[in-house]
Amino acid sequence: MGRILIILAVVMLTIYCVVEVAQSQPSRIRVMPKWLWAFVVICVPVIGPVTWLLAGRPENTPRRHALGPDDDEDFLRGLR
């Protein structure tokens, strides 16, 4: 039972990383090209996905949050 859980965890991690590599923009991926990351994640069972998560994944960039009407000062000024 333990072996099945370990194998299932490795397969799920690999699938997660393959999908993440496929959805990433090539210009934001670090260290290696996208096709090489996909190859490493698929062909090197545990080390490939872990390496992708630590070294290849695009860095988080702060996103601009849309302001709601009640947070937009220009909108509120226009109501008066």
CA gap 49, 14 in Å, rounded: 6
**pLDDT number for residue 1:** 87
pLDDT in tens, 6-65: 999 999 999 999 999 999 888 888 889 999 999 999 999 999 999 999 988 887 755 566
| pTM for the structure as a whole | 0.69
Region for 4 from its dihedrals, namely left if φ exceeds 0, alpha if ψ lies in -120 to 50, beta otherwise: alpha
* d(C-alpha 29, C-alpha 25), whole Å: 7
Domain boundaries, the chain: 2-56
